[in-house]
Chains A and B, each alone.
Chain A
Amino acid sequence: MSRSISYTSSPLLASRTPVWRSKFVVAVIALCFAVLATRAAYIQVIANDFFQRQGQVRFVRTLELPANRGRILDRNGLILASSIPAPSIWAIPEDIERDDPNLEQLARLLEMPLAELNKRLADEDKTFVWLKRQVDDSVAQQITALGLKGVYQRKEYKRQYPEGEAAAHVVGFTNVEDKGQEGVELAFNQDLGGHNGSRRVIKDRMGRVVEDVGEQIAPVDGRDLQLSIDSKVQFFAYQKLRDAVLLYKAKGGSVVVLDIVSGEVLALANYPSYSPGQRRNLSGGQLRNGALTDSFEPGSTMKPFVIALALEKGLVTPETQIQTAPGHFMIGRATISDSHPQGLITVNQVVQKSSNVGTVKIAMQMQPREMWNMFSQVGFGQKPLLPFPGAVSGRLRAYKTWRPIEQATMSYGYGLSISLFQLAHAYSVFARDGDLVPVTMLKSDQPAAGVRVISPKNAGAVRHMLQMVTGVGGTAPKAQTMGYSVGGKTGTAYKQEGHGYASKKYRGVFVGVAPIEQPRIVVAVMIDEPSSGKYFGGDVAAPVFSETVQQTLKILGIQPDLSVKPQIVAQAQASQESF
C-alpha cells in the first residue's frame, strides 16, 4: 500500500493512484501561488512607481484655478476696468464633420461667413486652430449647446472698460493675454495681475471630480486698484475738451484736473482718444497720453513764476510801476515785443495783460541760478512722481549755459519745455499758499503735506493777479464761470517746427485755480493747433477751463463763493414741509 495514497479505510474503495501524481499536483498548485506572489510583489514593491504613475495618468487631473485680474475703480468705487470671462473657441480640423448642418449655425454665432470658417478648418493636418478668441459668454454657451464634434472652448478673460474713450488714456488696456499694455493697466500690472492656483483631483469616467489629491494651491486674485480719478469729472473734462477741439478745428488737446488739497489727480483727458475695447485701426496719435508724454513750450503761463520769484526776492511789489512803452525791448540784437503796447503798468497788470516786455524787465534783474531754482522747485525738468508709463520730464537746461536772451525768453515761456501735467502741478504752488503738493494717481483721504516754495503772502498776491487775468481788462474773461471765482493764466505759444517756429501754428493754453479765495482745484487746458481763426489761449482754452471748473466744483459739492442772480422761478412760496 505504500505506493498509493489511502483515502479510506475500506479496501473496496482503495485507490490505485500513485503518490507522485498527487505530489505533482500539489507542486503545480504551489508553483502557481508562487507565481502569483511574485507578480504581486513585482506590482506592489518592485515596479510600484510605474503602476502608480500609470494609474494617475488615467484618472488624476491637474486643474488650473485661474486668478482674476484686479478691477480698476474710480474714487467712488465705480468700475473703470474689470475682467469678465470670454471663452475662446478653437477646433481640431480633423475631427470636424464637414456635412454637419450645425456648422452654418456656428459660423453665424462666430459672426464670420461660412466660407471663412471652412477656410480655417481646411488644413486637416493641423491639430489646433483658433476659430475666434474671446467671444461673449452667452455666445459660448450657445456654441456648447450646438454640441459640435471637434470644437472646443478655452476659458479666457476679457477686460471691459465701461467708461470707454473718456478714461482710455488713464486706464490704458490689456492685451489678449490679460497683461497690461498701457496706462494704469501697465503701471500697476504687478498689483492687478494675480497668480493662478492649481489642484490635483481624481476624475471618474463621467468626468466628475470625486476626490482631491495632495495639496491645493489656492489662486491669488489681483488687487483691486482705486484711482484718484473721478469718473464724472473725467467724463465732463473729456467732453468739454472734445467739443472745443472739434469747434476750433484743432489737432488735439489735453486737460488735467488736480485736487490741490489732497494732491489727487481728478481727471486727465486727451483728445483724440480711443475705445479701449475696440483697438483696431488705432493710430499712434490716439494712443498718446499727451498730458503726460508730450512736452511743449508753455509760453506766457510761465510769467507768474517769474513774478512770484521777484516778489519773493523783494525786487518788486504788486503795485510797482514798470515802463513797458514803446512795446518792445532790446536784449543784445534781439527784440522782445508785446502784441499790444501797454505803457506804464503795475506788476499786477504785467500778469493781467501778459506783457512780455514787463516780464523780461523784471526777469533781467535776477540771476539765472535763481530762476533755474524756482523752475526746478516747481517740478520743471523733472519727471512727475507718477507711476505712469512714458511720463516726460520736459527740458530745462542748466543755468550755466543760459545766455541773456535765453534767460529773457524763458521768463515768458520759450526755450524750456514742460508737459501739461507739470504745468498744472506747478500751479498748485499758487493754489496752496506757496507749497508744492505731491501728486498721486491713487485715492487718498488725507490732505497732503507740500514743500514750501514761496511765502503764503506772495502766493496770495499772485492769486490776485491770476484773478485779474480773468477779470475785466484781462486776457481771459472767458475763463469766468457762474458762481465761482476763478483765476488763471493764458498762454499762446508758437509751435516749434524743426529749428524754428511755425508761423501759423499755435498752442492755446490756460491754467487756473478755483475758487480763488479758498482754492480747491487746479485745471490746465491745452488746445493744439486750433485752425478755425481763433488761437489765443484766452479764446480756445479758457472756455474749456470755465466749463470744467463749473462741473468739477459742483460734483465736489463746493458751494459757490460768488453771489449769483437767482433765476429760480417758483421761489416765493415755498410750501411748508410737514414733520
Chain B
Amino acid sequence: MTRLNLLLLLALLASSLYLVSVQYESRRLFSELDKARSQEHRLETDKERLQVQKRSLATPLRVERLAKEKLQMRNATPAITHYVNYHAESSPIKGVR
C-alpha cells in the first residue's frame, strides 16, 4: 500500500512539474506569437506608408514637371497620334490601318 502511495506521489510530482513547464512554454510561445503579430502590424503600416510615399512621388504634378524639364517631352496631341482601331473579332494585325 505504502509503495503504491509513494509511486502515485512521484507521479503527481512529475505531472505537476510538467504542468509548470508546459505553462511556461505556452506563455513563451504566446508572447512570441504576439511579437510576430505586432511585427505584422508594423510591416502593414510600413507598407501603407511606402505606398503613400510612392504615390506622392508619382503625382501628375511631379511626373509632368520631370517629363517636361528633365526628359524634354511634350504633350501628345491628336495631330501627332496615330490612332489604331482594334477589332476583337479579327486578328490584331488586320486591325491596324
Contact = CB atoms under 8 A, between A and B. Distances in A.
Interface string B2-44: 0000000000000000000000000110110011000000000
A79 B60 contact: no
B73 to A, nearest CB: 15
Contacts of B78: 482-484, 560, 562, 564
A579 B93 contact: yes
B85 to A, nearest CB: 8
A28 interface: no
Contacts of A579: 93
Contacts of B76: 554
Contact of B59 (A84, A163, A201, A212): A163
B27 A566 contact: no
Given A160-B52, A231-B60, A564 B30 contact: no
B77 A82 contact: no
B20 to A, nearest CB: 14
Contacts of B77: 482-483, 550, 564
A208 interface: yes
A208 B55 contact: no
Given A164-B59, A568-B80, A204 B27 contact: yes
B52 A162 contact: yes
A565 B27 contact: no
Contacts of B60: 166, 231-232, 235-236
Contacts of B48: 82-84
A85 interface: yes
Given A137-B49, A164-B61, A235-B60, A211 B27 contact: yes
Interface string A70-106: 0000000011001111000000000000000000000
Interface string B64-87: 100000000000111111110000
Interface residues of A, number: 40
A210 B30 contact: yes
B67 to A, nearest CB: 13
Nearest to A167: B59
A102 B85 CA distance: 67
Contacts of B82: 566, 568, 571
Which of A160, A212, A482 has its CB near the most chain B CB atoms (within 10 A)?
A160
Contacts of A559: 83
B13 to A, nearest CB: 22
A554 B78 CA distance: 9
A208 B38 CA distance: 12
B59 A209 contact: no
Contacts of A484: 78
B79 A564 contact: yes
A567 interface: yes
Interface in A188-208: 201, 204, 208
Contact residues of B: prevailing secondary structure? helix
A77 to B, nearest CB: 11
B60 to A, nearest CB: 4
A212 B30 CA distance: 9
A84 B61 contact: no
Contacts of B31: 204, 208-210
Contacts of B79: 482-483, 564-568
A566 B55 contact: no
Interface in A372-402: none
Contacts of A560: 78, 83
A236 B61 CA distance: 9
Given A84-B45, A482-B79, A483-B79, A209 B34 contact: yes
A140 B61 CA distance: 30
Contacts of B28: 210
Contacts of A84: 45, 48-49, 52
B30 A209 contact: yes
B51 A82 contact: yes
Nearest to A565: B79
A559 B83 CA distance: 7
Nearest to B28: A210
A106 to B, nearest CB: 23
Contact of A567 (B34, B51, B80, B83): B80
A394 B64 CA distance: 37
Given A84-B45, A211-B27, A235-B61, A162 B80 contact: no
- Most B CB contacts (10 A, CB to CB) among A210, A482, A565 go to A210
Contacts of B45: 84-85, 137
Contacts of A483: 77-79
A235 B59 contact: yes
Interface in A207-243: 208-212, 231-232, 235-236, 239
B46 to A, nearest CB: 8
A566 B80 contact: yes
A82 B59 contact: no
Contacts of B30: 209-212
Given A85-B45, A232-B60, A483-B77, 12 more contacts: A78-B55, A82-B51, A84-B45, A162-B52, A166-B61, A235-B61, A239-B64, A482-B78, A554-B76, A560-B83, A567-B80, A568-B79
30 contacts: A79-B55, A84-B52, A85-B49, A137-B45, A137-B49, A162-B55, A204-B31, A208-B31, A208-B34, A209-B30, A209-B31, A209-B34, A210-B27, A211-B27, A212-B30, A231-B60, A235-B59, A482-B77, A482-B78, A483-B77, A483-B79, A554-B76, A560-B78, A564-B78, A564-B79, A565-B79, A566-B79, A566-B80, A566-B82, A568-B80
Q: Give 7 closest A-B pairs by Cβ, nearest first.
A: A483-B78, A162-B56, A210-B27, A235-B60, A162-B55, A208-B31, A209-B34
